[in-house]
Amino acid sequence: MKKQKTIYESALDQGISRRDFLKMCTALAATMGLDFSQTDNVVEAMETKKRVPVLWLQLQDCTGCSESFIRSTHPKIESVIFDMISLEYTEVLSAASGVQVESNLETVIKKYKGEYILAVEGSVPDNAGYLMVGGKSAKDTFIRAAENAKAVISYGSCASWGGIPAAYPNPTKAKPITKLVKNTPVILVPGCPPIAEVMTGVIAHIITFGEIPELDVAGRPKAFYRHRIHDKCNRRAYFDAGLFVESFDDEGAKQGYCLYKVGCKGPTTYNSCAEMRWNGGTSYPIQSGNPCIGCSESNFWDNGPFFTRRAKVPGTQITINPDKVGVAVLGATAAGVAIHGAATVAKKKHDEKIRGEE
């Protein structure tokens, strides 16, 4: 086995200048929500770390998470898979198929025990017959790969919460992967799918700092899931002013009024959409006139309907009447506070529930 090169060495080898390398580190630091002064830490880490082996397992999924991942703008996906990590097993990109790709998986589990990262998308069905890969139970393969990993990254809402396969009536009795991991740290990166730069940002954090990012009580990186979309929404001023879209394509929609009354789940959804936006900062659903469906929240499929705002905030006794929200500015502020309070209570209860299950 040849000596493995550090990320910096391999960057130099690939003709990347020191200057470009430093720029890449700065972009990485920004992606991870780090202060500019922390760029030095990123530089140091990239200069000294080897490419970390990554296994990517797809369970009951739609490949939407893998697809989102390859859309990463900063860092670019080419940098991620050729400079930062060594993606040894992926059903989407691996050149090898069949026994050859299965042997890649086995080699990594054996050779890099405790050192590799396991990325997972998709939920796990109750019964092996519902999900076989390589003639083996994908659930068993996952458990084995997770036991020997340094950390598990749970990409998407299916792996993190159960997602769409687990929506009522959950025909395959699908479960989130968290139920099957015992001693390996798990990072939840929910979303349907998650934002590309959040996905690569989490990997960059682990590689740069040699540790998993600080997580909230639900197990999500604080850097990306600390705020509700509502907190940073570009339509927020209209919510506070009590100006709402009543129907799609109406005058309010054209003016950019708040989408709360057409179902927006932004006030109860923790994600970076309003902050980082999608596809290199191009837009996000609310900016493009569509109500948020809350796709990074646990059980969001069963918290619909999507185009109607429930008068009652789920999980609380606090009710609000959307039609009366923000009749006057003063009223709007009061109601706004009430909604935030309610959402916080709902969130807290939810987190307690998750902790209780652990």
Partner 1 sequence: MTERIVVDPVTRIEGHLRVEADIDDRGVIKDAFSSGTAVRGIEVIVKERDPRDVWAFVQRICGVCTSTHALASIRSVEDALDIKIPENAHLIRNIMNAAVFLHDHVVHFYHLHALDWVDVVSALDADPKETSKIAQSISDWSNSSPGYFKEVQNKVKKLVDSGQLGIFANGYWGHEAYKLPAEVNLMAVAHYLEALDWQKEIVKVQTILGGKNPHPHYVVGGMATPLDINSDNGIHAERLGHISQLIDQANTFINQVYIPDLLAIGSYYKDWTYGGGLNNYLSYGDFAPKDHYDIDSYRMPRGVILNGDLSKVHDIDLKDPTQVQEFIDHSWYEYKGKTQDGGLHPFDGETNLHYTGPEAPYKHLDTDQAYSWIKSPRYKGQPMETGPLARIMISYALGRKDVKTLVDDTLAKLKIPLSALQSALGRTIARGLESVLIAKWMREDMDQLLANIKNGNQVTFNASKWEPETWKKSAKGVGWIEAPRGALGHWIVIEDGKTKDYQAVVPTTWNASPRDKKGNIGAYEASLKGTPVADKKQPLEIIRIIHSFDPCLACAVHLTDLESDTQTEIRIG
- In the region spanning residues 259 to 298, those forming contacts with partner 1, defined by CB under 8 A, are 273, 278-280, 282-291, 293, 295
**Segment near partner 1 (CB under 8 A); pick from 4-12, 180-188, 319-327, 350-358:** 4-12
Name the token pair of 311. Answer: 């008068």
CB of 112 to partner 1, least distance (A): 10
Provide the minimum distance between the beta carbon of 266 and partner 1 in the complex, in angstroms, as a whole number. Answer: 12
**How far is the C-alpha of 293 from the C-alpha of 137, rounded, in Å?**
33
Binding to partner 1 in span 78-107, by CB under 8 A: 78, 81-82, 85-88, 90-104
Q: Using CB under 8 A, which residues numbered 154 to 193 contact partner 1?
A: 163-165, 167-172, 174, 192-193
Identify the three-state secondary structure at position 181: coil
| Dihedral sign (CA 141, 144, 145, 146) | positive
Which residues, numbered 113-132, are part of the site for partner 1 (CB under 8 A)? 125, 127-132
241 lies in the site for partner 1, by CB under 8 A: no
Nearer to partner 1, 205 or 277 (CB): 277
- CA dist., res. 87 & res. 51, Å (int): 9
User: Considering the complex, what minimum distance in angstroms separates the CB of residue 176 from partner 1?
Assistant: 14
Q: How far is the CB of 301 from partner 1 (least distance, A)?
A: 7
Nearer to partner 1, 169 or 356 (CB): 169
* Token couple for 111: 């050779």
Shortest CB 163 distance to partner 1, Å: 8
> Can residue 200 be called a binding residue for partner 1 (CB under 8 A)?
no
The DSSP bridge pattern shows strands 136-137 and 85-89 to be: unpaired
Which residues partner with 152 through β-bridges? 118, 186
Q: Is 31 in the site for partner 1 (CB under 8 A)?
A: no
253 scored as a contact of partner 1 (CB under 8 A): yes
In the numeric block, which tokens belong to residue 236? 């927020």
Binding mask 51-80 for partner 1 (x = CB under 8 A): x-x----x-xxxxxxxxx-xxxx--xxx--
User: Does 19 engage in binding with partner 1 (CB under 8 A)?
Assistant: no
- The residue assigned the tokens 């529930």 is 353
How far is Cα 185 from Cα 206, in angstroms, rounded to an integer? 12
Long-range contacts, 31-40 (Cβ 8 Å, 24+): 31/74, 31/75, 31/197, 31/200, 31/201, 31/204, 32/201, 32/204, 32/205, 32/208, 32/213, 32/223, 33/201, 33/223, 33/224
3-state secondary structure of 271: coil
Task: Supply the minimum distance, in Å, between the C-beta of residue 358 and partner 1.
Answer: 26
Decide whether 235 or 347 has the Cβ nearer to partner 1. 235
Nearest CB to partner 1, comparing residues 260 and 284: 284
The answer to whether 333 contacts partner 1 (rule: CB under 8 A) is no
Q: Tell me how far CA of residue 289 lies from CA of 228, 268, 294, in angstroms.
A: 18, 18, 15
Based on the shown chain and the rule CB under 8 A, indicate whether residue 17 belongs to the binding site for partner 1.
no
By CB under 8 A, name the one of 20, 23, 48, 134 that touches partner 1: 134
